Structure 1
Amino acid sequence: MSGPPPLSFLYSQLVFTPPKPTQKYTDQTVMVTGSNIGLGLEAARWFVKLDAAKVILAVRTIEKGEEAKRDIEASTKRTGVVEVWSLDLSSYESVKQCAKKAEGLERLDVLVENAGILTWQFKMMEDNESHITTNVVSPLLHAVLSLPKLRETSVKFNTVPKLVFTESFTHWMAKFNERKEANILESLADEKKADMADRYNVSKLLGMYSVRKLAELETASKKAGKVVINFLNPGWVVTNVIKEYKGLDWLTFVISRSIFARSTEVGSRTIVNAAEAGEDSHGQYLNDCRPGA
């Protein structure tokens, strides 16, 4: 469905239903970040259902990850598949440690960079505002540090591993006034200038730019092993973001979500679809499970 973003959005939410994944991941290792709740949890559950040999839940809180592991095992009746690893995207050191640990894996076939935040509260994490650190810089850092293992897997097993980023349709809603500044990151880190109602949208726009550039650089690198890098829009999905709304905004959000939003499970199918996508999806934004604008 083509057309202006609002029309495409209505089609996506009211007409299109992401298909259930069918491709098997037998013998493969999959890592999903931010997978103790929401889209990440449901995507990880799909990978377990689809016969992955190992599914790693990379999460900030180990206890919550272990709870998610038990939930997946109970629903899929598969044990000995899910592992819980520590990954806190607010800490560059945690990101580095997680990628370092992955070097010890026999293989890494799919890496889903799904974790992220949405908040209206300004807060610095590392050297950037929290959305920029958590939604843009840290996922990119983790991906870059993990690329050698993905390439190694490609060469060793004659496969094409996938590096998938969860982005959002909200990129086209970004006003991104900071783009006019000489130093964009410095401006985004200035609390006095911050438009926090726009910050999530901006982070998703910057995420798209970053992933496209990463895909270009990977193609140009000519290094041994082939890795497909793509990014997707899961649509508007039921999540716990409702806690950010109050009063009339809360009521409006609840009513509109009940009309338009996909269930978390249905939304998670778009993530697994991106992992299924072929080499022609490299560097592409997947909307409604196919390349979009």
Structure 2
Amino acid sequence: MPSSERSYVGRFFSSQFASLPYPSHSFSGQVIIVTGANTGLGLEAARHFVRLGAAKVILGVRNEEKGKSAQESISSSTQKRDKTEVWLLNMESQKSVKEFAEKASRLERLDAFVANAGVCTNHFELVEGIEKSIAVNVLYTFLLVFLLLPTLRKTALDCQVRPRVVIVSSEGHETTSFSESKSDPIFAVLNDKSKSNMDERYDTSKLLQIYGVRELATQLDNSDKPAITVNACTPGLCRTSLLREAPAVSKIILGAVKLVVARSAEVGSRILVHAAETHDDTHGQYLRDCKVTP
């Protein structure tokens, strides 16, 4: 095994057993959007935000029934009613993304956006002419971020706060060879089944997220608009349903690994909550185990 791979594997296992602080930061009065919030990391992060005093947590979900179930789960566990709203969001649809952002523009404030919705599959499928992993994890995720910027900036001005954008990524971005990067234009190759490396597609999409966060941070820094913090984080390997579209072999292998080292969704969600706190030093950065990581 090459030294770089040994380093990654060692870091991965060390990280999985790291102790993560239980969230205690106050989100009193804040309005927060969490996508992919009907289950797993998104649900547990939303639960923490409500517990920590958020005025409103918007659950961005694809299925309304599952969203209502998540809403009831949060209300029951926190004993706080009327703190969540369920908004429909299909991350495979540009129209749905735009409608969601337009609805968000009518909010009185928006303090944080946690982009947690994502897909993991090695099956090539086009949605609206774009390979699904790239559409959901990258292009439409950042489209939603861009469309929410005016609302976030208005909050910064009106409430004298620094809003946050959190992109939920993965340490898998370190492992991809990103062979498509050798082609030009890159996205044309990513959308070409015959030229796509789907075995690495999820990790490649996560690498593109990291690139996107760094570039967006630079653009925000060069703007004369109100300051917004944007960062990326990895929750590590968690016991969630993310692999529901993964191939059978991957499910078996990772299922065995999960039995030994995986975090619960609640523990993994602590990293999302930490990234959404007001830490200016996380701007443009990547977080692992609630710490900025190179």
Instruction: Give TM class, smaller chain.
Output: over 0.9
In the alignment, residue 80 of structure 1 is paired with which amino acid? Answer: D
How many residue pairs get aligned? The number is: 288
Structure 2 vs 1, CA of residues 137 and 221 (structure 1 numbering), >3 Å: closer, same or farther?
same
CA distance, structure 1, for counterparts of residue 240 and residue 197 of structure 2: 22
Instruction: Report the equivalent of 2:82.
Output: 80
Instruction: Report the equivalent of 2:221.
Output: 219
CA contact (8 A) 2:121 2:243 kept: no
Aligned-pair CA distance for 1:195: 2.0
CA distance, structure 1, for counterparts of residue 248 and residue 68 of structure 2: 32
CA distance, structure 2, for counterparts of residue 269 and residue 171 of structure 1: 20
In the alignment, residue 84 of structure 2 is paired with which amino acid? Answer: V
- Cα offsets for 1:11-55 (capped at 9, x unmatched): 1012x1221111111111010011001110110000011010100
Instruction: Report the equivalent of 1:287.
Output: 288
Instruction: Report the equivalent of 1:175.
Output: 177
In the alignment, residue 143 of structure 1 is paired with which amino acid? Answer: V
Matching of residues 8-87 of structure 1 within 5 Å: 8-14=11-17, 16-87=18-89
Aligned-pair CA distance for 1:251: 3.8
Matching of residues 238-253 of structure 1 within 5 Å: 238-243=239-244, 244-246=246-248, 249-253=250-254
CA distance, structure 2, for counterparts of residue 217 and residue 262 of structure 1: 35
CA distance, structure 2, for counterparts of residue 200 and residue 63 of structure 1: 27
Aligned-pair CA distance for 1:277: 4.4
Instruction: Report the equivalent of 2:3.
Output: none
Aligned-pair CA distance for 1:250: 4.2
CA contact (8 A) 1:168 1:233 kept: yes
Q: Which runs of 5+ in 2 are unaligned?
A: 1-5
Matching of residues 153-164 of structure 1 within 5 Å: 153-164=155-166
- Cα offsets for 1:114-139 (capped at 9, x unmatched): 10000121100123100000000011
In the alignment, residue 58 of structure 1 is paired with which amino acid? Answer: G
Structure 2 vs 1, CA of residues 61 and 251 (structure 1 numbering), >3 Å: closer, same or farther?
closer
Structure 2 vs 1, CA of residues 190 and 245 (structure 1 numbering), >3 Å: closer, same or farther?
closer
CA distance, structure 2, for counterparts of residue 84 and residue 137 of structure 1: 23
- Cα offsets for 1:91-122 (capped at 9, x unmatched): 11111111111111000001101100001211
Aligned-pair CA distance for 1:245: 4.2
Aligned-pair CA distance for 1:242: 4.6
Task: Provide TM-score, normalisation by structure 1.
Answer: 0.95
Matching of residues 124-273 of structure 1 within 5 Å: 124-223=126-225, 225-243=226-244, 244-246=246-248, 249-273=250-274
CA contact (8 A) 1:274 1:286 kept: yes
CA distance, structure 2, for counterparts of residue 158 and residue 242 of structure 1: 40
3-state SS of 1:221 partner: coil
Task: Provide TM-score, normalisation by structure 2.
Answer: 0.95
3-state SS of 2:227 partner: coil
Instruction: Report the equivalent of 1:106.
Output: 108
User: Which stretches of structure 1, 4 residues or more, deviate above 4 A after TM superposition?
Assistant: none
CA distance, structure 2, for counterparts of residue 66 and residue 44 of structure 1: 13
Aligned-pair CA distance for 1:71: 1.0
CA distance, structure 2, for counterparts of residue 199 and residue 170 of structure 1: 10
- Cα offsets for 1:131-166 (capped at 9, x unmatched): 000000011000011011111111111111111110
CA distance, structure 2, for counterparts of residue 98 and residue 291 of structure 1: 30
In the alignment, residue 123 of structure 2 is paired with which amino acid? Answer: Q
CA distance, structure 1, for counterparts of residue 8 and residue 158 of structure 2: 42
CA distance, structure 2, for counterparts of residue 202 and residue 242 of structure 1: 16
In the alignment, residue 115 of structure 2 is paired with which amino acid? Answer: E
Moved more, 98-107 or 237-246: 237-246
Q: Which of the numbers 5, 10, 29 marks the counterpart of 2:8?
A: 5
Q: Which runs of 5+ in 1 are unaligned?
A: none
CA distance, structure 2, for counterparts of residue 159 and residue 291 of structure 1: 22
In the alignment, residue 270 of structure 1 is paired with which amino acid? Answer: I
CA contact (8 A) 1:35 1:58 kept: yes
Structure 2 vs 1, CA of residues 175 and 281 (structure 1 numbering), >3 Å: closer, same or farther?
same
CA distance, structure 2, for counterparts of residue 241 and residue 121 of structure 1: 14
Aligned-pair CA distance for 1:254: 2.2
Instruction: Report the equivalent of 2:96.
Output: 94
Instruction: Report the equivalent of 1:274.
Output: 275
